[in-house]
Every structure is written in C-alpha cells, then in structure tokens.
Structure 1
Amino acid sequence: MSPHLPARTALRCALTGTAHAEVESDAARALAVNATLSFVSEAESDTAGLTQVRVVPPKGIAPGDVTLTDAPEGWELKSADDGYTLSGPALATGADGEHSIRGRRLPDAEQLVFRTVETYDDGEVARWIELPTDDKEGEQPAPVLRLEPAASGNVLPPPARPPPPRPAAYPRRAHPPRRSPTPHPLQEPPSHRTATGPPDCSPDP
C-alpha cells in the first residue's frame, strides 16, 4: 500500500450503494506542482474482484502529464485522449483498488472532479461519474478533490495583451521616366537655328 494513501483495511466487503470512489492529495492546492493524487475504488462486489479502473481527469490535467507512482501488483497505466486506464490481474474479492499518480501541475480551480469507471472480473461495472451539485450528492458521485487557493507568488499571470497591429505598408508609387521636352510645332529645333548677333558690315575684299 502506498505511504501517501490513508490507512485502510486491505480487504473489506462493501455493500452495493455504500461504496465510493475517492481521491486525496498531499498538496491539495491550486497550481500545486508535482502533486501526488491518491485514488481509492472501494470494493462494491462481494463475489468478484476489480480488474480495471478508468479515470477521466478534469480540464487542466492532461493525461500526458500524469505519471503512475503506485498501483496494485501487475497493474499498468495506459493513457488516452480524455484520461487513463489502469488494469491488471483481478484483485481479491472485497479488496479496494488503490493507486496514486503524480500530476505536473494542478489547475487553478476550487475543486477537481475525476469521473471514474470500475470494472470487475465478472463483468460488473460501477460508474462514479455524477457531477456534484449544491443540493445533494448523487447516487454515484464522481470523486472530488477540493483545493485551497494558490499560494502567493504562485498565481498565473494574466494573459499578455497582443501587440497592436502594424499599419499596412503601402507600396511606393513608381514615378514615370522623365521625358525630354517636345518642341513646339512652330519652333525650329535648336540645331537648325541661325546664329544671332550683330550683322557683318565689313566691306568685301
């Protein structure tokens, strides 16, 4: 039995309807890092043993961030997109299924709900998936871990504001090539103009 789990009787017969799935933590605080979560699936059948426990963690705990730290002998963890499954040889009839995982970081929330489905070797399935309400606890409540507020200095910073959009860059307008001035139609081109100046009045030789 894991040292992180509360002391419990190794073998215990539980009547149908009175068993529960439970979760505890050694660091039940929002944004806690590397927190160990300990789960107990109380035996519900007095004729069969547990062979599989499937857990769907709440938003903010990715299955890929979960590491198995303690489980019944021979049981293995397999991750899925929405959670993980722990399975192995059937436990003794009346034995609770206990396992522990380590989460990279707990979400910033007041409570965490872990929907749990248990399977026995005779095919019986117990679904602890009902979400908590303010009125009363459901007949098959999902395990709930209540968290204390995040420690000071361990609060997630507000999301950064996106930078202001840059003004659109307009392409520079291409200037047309310069053209040589077109002479006036009544103006003689410069190469054909006669030289100007005083008339030559010298006598002929």
Structure 2
Amino acid sequence: MSRFTLSRAARRLTVAAAAATTAVLLTAVPAAAHVEVESANAQALAENVEITFVAESESATAGITQLRVVLPKGITPADVVYGKGPAGWKFTADAEGYVVKGPAVKVGENAEHSIVVRQLPDAKELAFKTLQTYSDGKVDRWIELGESGGDGHGHGNEAPVLKLKAAAPGAKPATSSPSPSASPSAAATPAAEETAAVSSSPQAATTEKEDEDGGLSAGAWTGIVAAVLVAGAAVVLLVRRRGSAQE
C-alpha cells in the first residue's frame, strides 16, 4: 500500500472519529433551559404548602424580568400567597393565576420564587403553565403538556409539573368558614329578639287570636257604644214630645 493511500485512510479515520465524537457530545448536552417546580410537601390535600419555581435563563444578552404562572385546576389565585423572589419583584394575582415581575436579574442568572398554597387538590400531578419574559422582550412559553416536547425528545416547551404523593389517610378538602349570616350570633340580631319578645307576650297572642277569629276591635266597640247612646237620647226626646202633646 502506498504512502498516499495510507494518508487518505488516516484522514478518513480522523473525520469519522470527529463525527462520532460530535454525535456523542450532542447526545450528552443537557435539556434546553426550562422552568422547574418542586416542593418538600408535594402531597395531595396537604395544607399550607410552599412551592418553589426556578426559571432557567437561556439568554446571553438579557435578564429575566417577569414570570406569569397559570394555576392548575383545583388552585385559585385566592389560595396563593407570595413567598419570596428576586429583589424588587412584586406579586400580582390575575384571573388565571399570578404574575411576579421586577428589575431584570443578571444576564445568565436563573429567576427563583416561591408561593404558599392553602391546600393542594386531590390529584396525581399539577402542571403550572409559565410564560418567561426577558428584558429584551423575548418570551419563553413553557406551556406544553405531556411527556415529549416540540422536538419529540422531551426537550420542548413543557410546562413545569409537580408530582404529588397520595393524600394522607383521613385527609379531606378544606372547607371555607361559615358566612356571618349563617352563624347563630348573626341570626339573633336585636331587632329579631325584640320581634320575638313581642310576639310571645300573652297580650299580643290574644290580640292576634281575635284578629284571626274575626273578633271586634276596640274602635268597633267604641262605635257601637256611641250608636246606643244616640239611640237612647232619641227615645228620651220622643217620649218628652209625646208628653207635651197630650197636655
């Protein structure tokens, strides 16, 4: 075999090795940036649970300025209290979830924040769809559901998912406190007590009974007495006139 042939074979082996190395490196690259969610008490029906979100940065020129989280079914904005987040960031609830935003974090830095949920629903997992905004206006939409993402290898724009352990024995959904109108103390208002006292007195009961049975009122009796007196006076006057006529 000639020296030229050996040189060509060596070059081919070198190219093949480089290609194989590149393929290995590409398959070893970690998943693209995404949002992670975790909790130390991820259990169905658990109460006052702190949940932490980590939004990874994938920009080399802009910092993260805002995260909008859509809450899963079973958790309402009223059930959520803001925990902590990047310096200067503020929490605002909206119709579907909440927004945390503020000054941009440093370029390349992840944005981490936490919330406290009054009670987790009775479910196996919770997906928190998230929109991640950068200072240059770019938005990463981590909203896809399911195992695989847009590229078919599980590295798409999946929403962060929190897997829950089964509920503890005897755990039940928390019930809201009774409304003031339904409480005994609220029902027994002064006006209601006065009405009850009046209606329960013997005199009031007698009056009500007479009204129900068609009995005469005091005004009716006064009219009858007046009519009798008038009639009596008329009789007396008539008698006197007859006596005068006979004389």
What residue number does 1:39 align with?
53
Decide whether the 8 Å contact of 2:121 with 2:173 is kept in 1: no
Partner of 1:51: 65
Cα RMSD (Å)? 2.1
In structure 2, how many angstroms separate the alpha carbons of the residues matched to 1:137 and 1:84? 27
Instruction: For residue 26 of structure 1, report the CA deviation from its aligned partner.
Output: 1.5
SS in 2 for 1:85: strand
What is the letter of the counterpart of residue 133 of structure 2?
Answer: T
Structure 1 residue 138: Cα displacement: 5.6
State the shift of 1:44 in Å: 1.2
Match of 1:127 among 102, 120, 141: 141
Q: How does 1:77-96 map to 2 (within 5 A)?
A: 77-96=91-110
Choose which of 51, 58, 61 in structure 1 pairs with 2:75.
61
2:91 partner SS: strand
Alignment equivalent of 1:140, drawn from 157, 176, 185: 157
Structure 2: distance between partners of 1:143 and 1:92: 23
Work out which structure has the larger RCO, using CA pairs closer than 8 Å and 6 or more positions apart in sequence.
1
Which residue type is aligned with residue 88 of structure 1?
A: G
CA contact (8 A) 2:92 2:98 kept: yes
Distance of 1:49 and 1:91 partners within structure 2: 5
TM-score (normalizing by structure 1): 0.66
C-alpha offsets along residues 64-107 of structure 1, whole Å, 9 cap, x if unaligned?
11111111010001000101000000110001000000000000
User: 5+ unaligned residues in a row in structure 1: which ranges?
Assistant: 1-14, 158-205
2:130 is aligned with 1:116: yes
Ranges in structure 2 where 5+ consecutive residues have no aligned partner: 1-28, 175-247
In 2, distance between residues paired with 1:30 and 1:148? 6
Cα offset, 1:155, TM superposition: 3.8
Counterparts in 2 of 1:81 and 1:18: CA distance versus 1, 3 Å: same
> Which stretch has the larger CA shift, 108-117 or 61-70?
61-70
What SS does the corresponding residue of 1:70 show, helix, strand or coil?
coil
Q: Distance in 1 between matches of 2:173 and 2:104?
A: 42
Larger radius of gyration: 2
Q: Give the corresponding residue for 2:118.
A: 104
Flag the structure with higher strand content.
Answer: 1
Q: Which one-letter code corresponds to 1:103 in the other structure?
A: V
Distance 1:55 1:155 in 2: 26
Stretch deviating more after TM superposition (134-143 or 89-98): 134-143
TM-score (norm 2): 0.55
Shift of 1:37: 0.3
* Amino acid in the other structure paired with 2:166: P
* 8 Å CA contact retained: 2:32, 2:155: no
Aligned equivalents of 2:66 and 2:173: distance in 1? 36
Identity of aligned residues (%): 49
Aligned length: 143
More helix by share: 2
* Deviation, structure 1 residue 55: 0.3
Deviations 1:30-89 (A, max 9, x none): 001000000000011111000000000101110111111111010001000101000000
